[in-house]
Structure 1
Amino acid sequence: MDAVYRNQRHIYDLTRKYYLLGRDRLIDRLQPAAGERVLEVGCGTGRNLIAAARRYPEARFFGFDISAEMLETARANVARAGLSDRICLVRGDASDPLVLRNFTAAPEVAEGFDRVFFSYTLSMIPVWRQAIAVGAGALKTGGRLSVVDFGEQERLPRSFRTLLLAWLRAFHVTPRGELVAELQGVAEATGRALDVATLYRGYALYAELGPAYSPATK
């Protein structure tokens, strides 16, 4: 990842805003309460954490990424935004079930998070199933896991889909066709509810894994 992003990190946010669609929808729906903890798995340049911290000034934010290069940029961006006291960043592997131990400056995170989210990271993580398991395992009881990533473009022109997939492969990105099935499996294993929506004619997929619905809330 460091080799991929050593140079890209400087223009990452400027270019990705045009095609990483649905990220702001995810942030809008986080809605953490005061004092709640929010974790981004694969935080990249910190763009999402900064936007969320500004949106929810009474919540606490955490993020990790496997790329030291991206984290260098993220820390600089967070400091520039004046949010270093509210956003904690560490280096970590999304497939490592012990990754939360890396937050040595915030040992309370061992108790879990109220919100965990993945934003266009699962399509880049080779062991993406393990990453989902780690994210789900980091949730507190009653917490919610959110995912936005590339969909299967099923309602877009075939020529567009072919070009997009070829372009994504050049950046080591692979949309996960089995993502919904994997999340459904986690939902069934953990007694949670899964909500899924396709965005922009299938260009993107949005999913939330949260507390099971009770008859009173259906």
Structure 2
Amino acid sequence: MDRIYRVQRHFYDLTRKYYLLGRDRLIRDLNAAPGESVCEIGCGTARNLAKLARRYPDCRYFGIDASAEMLETAEASLRRMGLEDRIRLGLAFAERFDPGETFDEPDGFDHIVFSYSLSMIPPWRAALDRAVTLLRPGGTLHIVDFGDQRGMPAWFRHLLFTWLAWFHVEHRPGIRIWVEEKNAAGDMEVSVSALAGHYAELFRLARTDRPSL
């Protein structure tokens, strides 16, 4: 990851804003309540975390990434925005993430976000399974990533997926299957949305249990 992002991190946000559709909708629909905790898995430059912190100022924010190079850029960006005291960052792998060890947050999080990170995580299913275990009672998992482009021309799909492969990014059709499995199990309330001819898909999975009052 450090090799991939050593150079890309310097212009990542400038280029990604044109084709990572749905990130701002995820942020808008997160609906985090005051006092809740939000963690982004694969936070990259912390672009999403900064926007979340501004939209929901009374929440606690955390982000992990597998690239120390990317976290260096994220930390510098948060300092420029004056958000370094509101957003905590840590180096960790998604499938083995221990919030107690990384952030001293053993009880997990109210919201966990995957924003175009699963398409770069080889053990993506293990990352999702781990995230579910880290949700607090009543917590919500939010995902946005590339869809199957079924509503787009074939030439566009081929060009996009070929280009993404150069950056070790690939569409994960299994994400939708994993979500459907969770829905069938009945322990999570699931909603699914598609954008721009299934260019991108958004998934929201909320634990049906609620914290004790």
Contact 1:112-1:139 at 8 Å conserved across structures: yes
Match of 1:202 in 2: 198
Deviation of residue 137 (structure 1)? 1.1
Distance 2:27 2:188 in 1: 21
1:133 and 1:186 in contact (8 A); partners too: no
Q: TM-score, normalised by structure 1?
A: 0.92
Q: Spell out, residue by residue over 1:121-142, the C-alpha distance to the aligned partner (whole angstroms, 9 max, x if none).
A: 0011000000101111111110
Instruction: State the AA in 1 paired with 2:60.
Output: R
Cα separation, 2, equivalents of 1:25 and 1:164: 22
Matched, 1:120 2:119: no
Return the match for 1:156 from 140, 152, 155. Answer: 152
Aligned to 1:66: 66
Q: Tell me how far 1:186 sits from its aligned partner.
A: 3.3
1:100–1:194 CA distance, 2 compared to 1 (3 A): same
SS in 2 for 1:111: coil
Runs of 4+ in 1 over 3 A off after TM superposition: 186-190
- Counterpart contact for 1:146–1:208, Cα < 8 Å: yes
Render the CA deviation track for 1:7-64: whole Å, top value 9, x for unaligned.
Answer: 0000000000000000000000111111110000000000000010011110110000
- Superposition RMSD on alpha carbons, in Å? 1.4
The equivalent residue for 1:216 is: none
Q: What's the CA shift for 1:184?
A: 2.4
CA–CA separation in structure 1 for the residues paired with 2:92 and 2:106: 15
Aligned length: 209
Structure 1 residue 142 corresponds to structure 2 residue 141: no
Give the match for residue 28 of structure 1: 28
Distance 1:157 1:72 in 2: 38
| Percentage of pairs with the same residue | 49
Q: How does 1:102-121 map to 2 (within 5 A)?
A: 102-104=101-103, 107=104, 109-121=105-117
Q: Conserved in 2, the CA contact under 8 Å of 1:145 and 1:209? A: yes
Structure 2 residue ranges without an equivalent (≥5): none
Secondary structure at 1:196 match in 2: strand
C-alpha distance 187-140 of structure 1, shift in aligned 2 (>3 A): farther
Kept in 1: contact 2:140–2:204 (CA 8 A): yes
Residue of structure 1 in register with 2:53 after alignment = 53
Q: What TM-score, normalized by structure 2, do the two folds share?
A: 0.94
Quick check: 2:100–2:107 contact (8 Å CA) kept in 1? Answer: no
- 2:82 maps to a residue whose letter is G
The answer to whether the Cα contact below 8 Å between 1:92 and 1:102 also exists between their aligned partners in 2 is: no
Tell me, in whole angstroms, the C-alpha distance in 2 between the residues paired with 1:212 and 1:111. 17
Deviation at residue 188 of structure 1 after TM alignment: 4.3
CA distance in 1, matches of 2:9, 2:26: 22
Contact 2:151–2:198 under 8 Å retained in 1:
yes
Check conservation: 2:149, 2:199, Cα contact below 8 A. Answer: yes
- Conservation of the 8 A alpha-carbon contact between 2:144 and 2:201: yes
Quote the Cα distance in structure 1 between the aligned partners of 2:121 and 2:157. 21
The 8 Å contact of residues 5 and 69 in structure 1, kept in 2 or not, is answered as yes
The 8 Å contact of residues 91 and 102 in structure 1, kept in 2 or not, is answered as no
